Amino acid sequence: MLDLSKDIDSLSNFKRNTARYVGRMKKTGKPVVLTINGKAELVVQDAASYQRLLDVTERIESLDFLRQSMEDVDAGRTTPMREAIESLGKKR
């Protein structure tokens, strides 16, 4: 989770102290929200944390696809594989 007292700072401060921010992000795994003119504009995070985020997102999308597929099966919105293959063969 973001700590609003530590994880939000200006882009100017980030540019002046990049090494310190990178070290903190690697240590904590937390991103930093950067502001421009007082408005949140960018999120910066280390590569390992970003990869974990991508992996979690992919798992969630896969689970959602499986849930939707099971709903289709339960609702009868599917075709048996043999029928689907035969139908494809007839279309050619």
Find the domain containing 63 and state its range.
48-91
On whether residue 87 sits in a domain, the answer given is yes
Q: What is the pLDDT of residues 12-41, one digit of tens each?
A: 999 999 999 999 999 999 999 999 999 999
Do residue 57 and residue 41 come from a single domain? Answer: no
Average confidence score pLDDT of the chain: 93
Compute the distance between CA of residue 8 and CA of residue 14 in angstroms, rounded to an integer. 10
3-state SS class at 30: coil
On whether residue 85 sits in a domain, the answer given is yes
Structurally, the chain folds into a number of domains equal to: 2
Please say whether the beta carbons of 36 and 11 come within 8 A.
Answer: yes
pTM: 0.71
Do residue 40 and residue 73 come from a single domain? Answer: no
Six-digit token string for 81? 């594989």
